Amino acid sequence: MATESSNGGNHAVTKQPPTPSPLRNSKFFQSNMRILITGGAGFIGSHLVDRLMENEKNEVIVADNFFTGSKDNLKKWIGHPRFELIRHDVTEPLLIEVDRIYHVACPASPIFYKYNPVKTIKTNVIGTLNMLGLAKRVGARILLTSTSEVYGDPLVHPQTEDYWGNVNPIGVRSCYDEGKRVAETLMFDYHRQHGIEIRIARIFNTYGPRMNIDDGRVVSNFIAQALRGESLTVQAPGTQTRSFCFVSDMVDGLMRLMEGDHTGPINIGNPGEFTMTELAETVKELVAPDVKILTVENTPDDPRQRKPA
C-alpha cells in the first residue's frame, strides 16, 4: 500500500508551525480533536467520516457543496452531537476552529470533473488556498487527497513518488490533474514558507459502496451495466491498466498518513494491476455471463498504465 516517498519524507521546515487552535485549551472544549472534512458528503469522504466518528473523542465537521456528494451518505450522523454538516463551497473562505483538515473536496469522476472544468480548477487551486489559509490561521494539520493523475500518462511504471509525471497542460483532463499538481505545490509552499503541517496522499483508483451508480467510473459502470443486462463498454484499446483499492483500505491509509510523521507525497493504492478488458471479463463472469463486451471510443489523454510503487 503506502510507501514512503523517496523525495518526500520529512521536508525541512524553515518556520515553526503556528500554535494550534486556542480552543484546544478552553474549558468548554471537550473533544480531543476537531476535524474538518471538505468533500465529506462524497464517496471517500463519507467513509472517512464513518471511521473518524467511531472515536468518541472526535468532533467531525463536513463542508460540502453537494456537487457530487449527498446528504444521504451522512444520514446516520445528521443530528449527532459530535457531528456538523455545512453547505459550503471551498472556493469561498471558511472561518472555523479545527485541529485537523482532510481536504477531500473535488469531483473525482472524469465525467463530472470535465463537466465544468473551470469550476474544477477553481476547486483545486482556490479551494486548496482557502483551506491552507484556514490551517495557517488556526494551526491545524492539513491533508490533501491528491491523485495518481499527477503522473499523467506515465512513462515510468509502476509509478514512484519521485516521478514528475507526463501531463498534458492543455488537455481536457488538465483541470483535474494540473489542478491537483498546483494544489500539491501550494501545500509545499505553505509548509516551507509558513511552517504549516501538511500531508499529501496520491490516491489510486478506489472503489466501494456509495459510488454514484451513474458517475461513469469504470468499476461502478461495468457492474451497473451488468446488473441491467447491458453490454459492458470497454473504452479502446482495453489494454490500459488500473490498480483498484477498496475504500476501507484507502480510509485506513489516509488516517495513518494524517497521524504519522511523514509529509508525503505518498502513493496510496493497491498494487494489483488489471487491463480494462480483464476487468470487464471478471465482472461479466461474476455478475452476468450472458452480456456482451463492446469496445467503444475512448476520451483524450486516458492514461495507458497505472500502478503504485
Ligand X SMILES: O=C(O)[C@H]1O[C@H](OP(=O)(O)OP(=O)(O)OC[C@H]2O[C@@H](n3ccc(=O)[nH]c3=O)[C@H](O)[C@@H]2O)[C@H](O)[C@@H](O)[C@@H]1O
For residue 276, the partner it binds in ligand NAD, ligand X, none, with Cβ less than 5 to 8 A by kind, is ligand X
Residue with cell 473525482: 108
* Among residues 21, 58, 123, 159, the one that binds ligand NAD under rule CB under 6 A: 123
Question: Residue 127 interacts with ligand NAD (CB under 6 A)?
Answer: yes
Question: Residue 109 interacts with ligand X (CB under 6 A)?
Answer: yes
* Grid coordinates given for 269: 493504492
Question: Residue 206 interacts with ligand NAD (CB under 6 A)?
Answer: yes
Q: Considering only residues 121-150, where is the footprint of ligand X by CB under 6 A?
A: 147-149
Minimum distance of ligand X from residue 218's CB (angstroms): 3
Q: Considering only residues 10-49, where is the footprint of ligand NAD by CB under 6 A?
A: 38-39, 41-45
Does residue 190 have an active-site annotation?
A: no
**In this chain, which stretch among 135-143, 162-170, 199-207, 281-289 interacts with ligand NAD, using CB under 6 A?**
199-207
- 25 vs 28: CA distance, rounded Å: 8
**In this chain, which stretch among 18-26, 103-111, 133-141, 255-263 interacts with ligand NAD, using CB under 6 A?**
103-111
Question: Residue 233 interacts with ligand X (CB under 6 A)?
Answer: yes
Which amino acid is present at 159? Q
Question: Residue 147 interacts with ligand NAD (CB under 6 A)?
Answer: yes
Long-range contacts of 73-81 (CB under 8 A, 24+ apart): 73/41, 73/42, 73/43, 73/46, 73/210, 74/40, 74/41, 74/46, 74/49, 77/49, 77/50, 77/53, 80/53
**Among residues 102, 113, 151, 176, which one is catalytic?**
176
Contacts of 166 (CB under 8 A, 6+ apart): 151, 152, 153, 154, 155
How many Å separate Cα 88 from the centre of its chain? 18
For residue 67, the partner it binds in ligand X, ligand NAD, none, with Cβ less than 5 to 8 A by kind, is ligand NAD
> Between the CA of residue 150 and those of 154, 184, 238, 266, 296, what are the distances in Å?
9, 9, 22, 12, 26
Decide whether 106 or 138 has the Cβ nearer to ligand NAD. 106
Rg of the chain over Cα atoms, rounded to whole angstroms, equals 19
Minimum distance of ligand X from residue 287's CB (angstroms): 14
Question: Residue 279 interacts with ligand NAD (CB under 6 A)?
Answer: no
Q: What are the helix (H) ranges across 105-261?
A: 110-113, 117-138, 174-194, 218-228, 247-259
Q: Where does this chain bind ligand NAD (CB under 6 A)? A: 38-39, 41-45, 64-69, 89-91, 104-108, 123, 127, 145, 147, 203, 205-206
Mind telling me the catalytic residues? 176
Q: Where does this chain bind ligand X (CB under 6 A)? A: 108-110, 147-149, 203-205, 216-218, 221, 233-235, 240, 242, 276, 298, 302
